């Protein structure tokens, strides 16, 4: 069977195009050899389960690996410690007796003793005594891996189980125990109660304080993506610039595994179809990636559904994201801050140069769309653009200058008498609301993170391969405006464009509203003052 790009469930090297996991596995092995207990907590669809499965195979020659998943244990199994202990022992035995995943090296008599124990009621103390016997009699050190631990997090039994693991770790010099314990989840152990009580930020579970820090980067680098595409190209021999394609995919995703694989899957299976680009060589291009991102932006999937739910459930996180996106506000990165900690845990934000930034360009645009969708029904700006939409597109070409002119007229008519605070807080949002129905379904936009601040925001628009740059800024005098023109000219040079647009929100009562053109460093700057 031919390999394909997989976005559902575990990836297998013999079935799917994958990045090479060897470096990550070796780094995790070092933690295991050191005897660490640790947690791999990463956002949804970040490759945790795929990594754990690969790790089980990677370690099996030197360790006795027992992989479990709490997702397979129903909620009823966590009612009390007796039911849980029995269910855990049953799950353990199922792995041991599963021929495809047979755990080699375990003492058969000890396994039989554990099996016989299921004929009577056992508690956590009994369970850990049996596990200690299993570790003592094993020919190889035992590594316990438990995936989806947050499936079991909303009950006291799980906390008691963690406490027993901690005690066995602390007593390891005197009592045989696991070589290493690896837990995997979205939620960090100390944040597990936030899963069911999202607004009670000060209520944490007791931390699993013996856990080693897990700092291994599980995102895909440009080289990782390049290696995966190179394997694909060895099959299809496409005439493409693999390095440039990998860089472009990374620019949109920042290496988020699910998003990387999804874009590759779209390029391979949809963009290359006769209905779209016609063949694989045409699909694996910058234009093909733009089309794939457009499809991704309108897709409904579990990752985006989960992102929306998390934003709805956590009001402080939501407010921070809105301030970053629409007001250009900067937040120093402090992981002890509730919205920052929770946003990082969910994979929505990250640290860059000491400040909070949205995790990737796709999440950012999706969040813009989410927040703006709440304003569409009652938005005069959106409705005005919807009525004017047809005049902006001629023969598949976007007349960006006309878009800017009409926005200027609409803004002046509707918002000219609003106070400066309203305009400063809402100017960017109003322009994006005007732009959205014009390019919707055909084009994409994203905000350039390196230029977004309280004073300046650059919008990059992709429309049928046509790129436009609009710099939005608050007027702070003529000298600052000239610097803005020079910055925009330099940015146009980076994008190999000759023309850009400077949208200035001017609070000066004597300002002159209008549109002018100037040449700066060989680039045409169309400035719109509102």
* pLDDT value at residue 198: 47
* pLDDT value at residue 75: 72
Contacts of 183 (CB under 8 A, 6+ apart): 38, 39, 40, 146, 149, 189, 208
Q: Is the pLDDT of residue 478 over 80?
A: no
| φ, ψ (nearest 5 deg) of residue 205 | -70, 160
**Distance from C-alpha of 210 to C-alpha of 166, rounded to nearest angstrom:** 6
Total domains in the chain come to 3
Domain that holds residue 272: 222-299
* pLDDT value at residue 506: 82
- Tens-place pLDDT, residues 346-370: 999 999 999 999 999 999 999 998 9
Contacts of 123 (CB under 8 A, 6+ apart): 81, 82, 85
CA-only gyration radius of the chain, Å: 27
Q: Look at 423-432, 491-500, 515-524 and tell me which has the smallest mean pLDDT.
A: 423-432
Buried b (16+ CB within 10 A) or exposed e, 452-469: beeebbbbbbbbeeebbb
> Which residue, among 11, 39, 12, 70, has the nearest Cα to 257 in the 3D structure?
11
40/87 same-domain check:
yes
323 lies in a domain?
A: no
235 lies in a domain?
A: yes
Average pLDDT for 118-128: 90
272/395 same-domain check:
no
Domain boundary among 179, 195, 211: 195
393/469 same-domain check:
yes
> Which residue, among 86, 90, 7, 91, has the nearest Cα to 50 in the 3D structure?
7
Q: Look at 2-11, 258-267, 388-397 and tell me which has the smallest mean pLDDT.
A: 388-397
108 lies in a domain?
A: yes
CA 396, chain centre distance (Å): 33
433/525 same-domain check:
yes
65/178 same-domain check:
yes
402/440 same-domain check:
yes
| 3-class secondary structure, 214 | coil
* pLDDT value at residue 192: 57
522 lies in a domain?
A: yes
Bridge-based pairing state of the strands 397-398 and 443-448: unpaired
Q: Cite the DSSP H helix spans in 47-199.
A: 48-59, 81-97, 108-117, 124-137, 156-170
82/122 same-domain check:
yes
* pLDDT value at residue 19: 97
* pLDDT value at residue 242: 97
Buried b (16+ CB within 10 A) or exposed e, 515-526: eeeeebeebebb
The CATH number assigned to the domain holding 107 equals 3.40.50.300
- Tens-place pLDDT, residues 157-210: 888 898 899 999 999 999 999 999 999 998 777 665 555 444 444 445 555 788
Q: Look at 94-98, 278-282, 321-325, 405-409 and tell me which has the smallest mean pLDDT.
A: 94-98
Q: Is the pLDDT of residue 104 over 70?
A: no
* pLDDT value at residue 164: 92
> Which residue, among 428, 367, 301, 293, has the nearest Cα to 7 in the 3D structure?
301
3 lies in a domain?
A: no
- Biggest CA pair distance of the chain: 91
* pLDDT value at residue 202: 42
121/189 same-domain check:
yes
116/177 same-domain check:
yes
169 lies in a domain?
A: yes
> Which residue, among 46, 72, 56, has the nearest Cα to 149 in the 3D structure?
72
Domain boundary among 147, 180, 195: 195
366 lies in a domain?
A: no
> Which residue, among 415, 419, 436, has the nearest Cα to 297 in the 3D structure?
436
Share of the chain above pLDDT 70, in %: 91
DSSP secondary structure of 466-489: EEEEEEEEE---HHHHHHHHHHHH
Q: Strand 37-41: give its sheet, edge to edge.
A: 37-41, 180-185, 142-147, 64-69
404/525 same-domain check:
yes
Share of the chain above pLDDT 90, in %: 58
- Tens-place pLDDT, residues 57-82: 999 999 999 999 988 787 777 888 99
Mean pLDDT of the chain: 88
71 lies in a domain?
A: yes
Q: Does pTM surpass 0.85? A: yes
Domain boundary among 234, 267, 299: 299
Average pLDDT for 205-233: 90
190/286 same-domain check:
no
174/73 same-domain check:
yes
The two three-digit tokens of residue 10, written as one number: 């575990």
């Amino acid at each position: 069977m031919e390999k394909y790009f997989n976005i559902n469930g575990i990836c297998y090297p013999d079935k799917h195009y994958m990045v090479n996991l060897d470096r990550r596995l070796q780094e995790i092995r070092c933690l295991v050899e050191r005897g660490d207990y640790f947690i791999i907590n990463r956002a949804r669809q970040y490759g945790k389960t795929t990594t754990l499965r690969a790790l089980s195979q990677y370690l099996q020659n030197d360790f006795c690996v027992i992989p479990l998943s709490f997702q397979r244990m129903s909620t009823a199994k966590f009612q009390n410690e007796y039911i849980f202990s029995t269910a855990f022992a049953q799950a353990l035995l199922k792995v041991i007796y599963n021929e495809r995943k047979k755990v080699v090296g375990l003492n058969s008599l000890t396994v039989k003793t554990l099996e016989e124990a299921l004929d009577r009621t056992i508690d956590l103390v009994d369970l850990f005594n049996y596990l200690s016997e299993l570790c003592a009699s094993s020919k190889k050190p035992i590594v316990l891996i438990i995936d989806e631990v947050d499936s079991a997090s909303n009950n006291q039994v799980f906390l008691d189980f963690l406490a027993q693991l901690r005690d066995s770790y602390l007593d390891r010099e005197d009592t045989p125990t696991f070589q290493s314990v690896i837990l995997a989840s979205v939620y960090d152990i100390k944040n597990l109660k936030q899963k069911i009580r999202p607004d009670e930020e000060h209520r944490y579970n007791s931390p699993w304080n013996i856990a080693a820090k897990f700092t291994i980067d599980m995102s895909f680098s440009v080289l990782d993506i390049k290696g995966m595409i190179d394997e694909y190209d060895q099959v299809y021999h496409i005439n493409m610039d693999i390095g440039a394609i990998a860089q472009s995919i990374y620019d949109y995703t920042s290496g988020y595994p699910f998003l990387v694989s999804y874009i590759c899957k779209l390029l391979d299976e949809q963009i290359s179809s006769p209905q779209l680009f016609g063949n694989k060589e045409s699909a694996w291009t910058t234009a093909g990636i733009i089309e794939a991102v457009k499809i991704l932006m309108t897709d409904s999937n579990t990752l985006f559904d989960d992102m929306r739910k998390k934003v709805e459930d956590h009001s402080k996180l939501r407010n921070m994201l809105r301030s970053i996106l629409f007001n250009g506000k900067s937040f120093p990165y402090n992981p002890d801050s509730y919205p920052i900690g929770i946003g990082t845990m969910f994979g929505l934000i990250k640290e860059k140069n000491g400040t909070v930034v949205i995790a990737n360009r796709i999440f950012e645009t999706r969040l813009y769309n989410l927040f703006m969708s709440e304003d569409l029904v009652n938005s005069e700006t959106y409705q005005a653009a919807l009525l004017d939409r047809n005049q902006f597109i001629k023969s598949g070409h976007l007349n960006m200058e006309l878009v800017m002119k009409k926005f200027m007229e609409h803004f002046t008519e509707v918002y000219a008498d609003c106070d400066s605070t309203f305009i400063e807080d809402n100017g960017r949002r109003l322009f994006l609301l005007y732009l959205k129905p014009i390019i919707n379904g055909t084009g994409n936009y994203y905000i350039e993170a390196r230029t977004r601040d309280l004073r300046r925001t650059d919008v990059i628009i992709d429309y049928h391969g046509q790129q436009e740059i609009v710099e939005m800024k608050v007027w702070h005098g003529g000298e600052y405006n000239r610097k803005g023109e020079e910055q925009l000219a330099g940015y146009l040079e980076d994008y190999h464009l000759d023309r850009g647009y400077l949208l200035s929100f001017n609070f000066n009562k004597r300002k002159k509203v209008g549109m002018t053109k100037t040449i700066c460093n060989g680039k045409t700057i169309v400035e719109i003052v509102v």
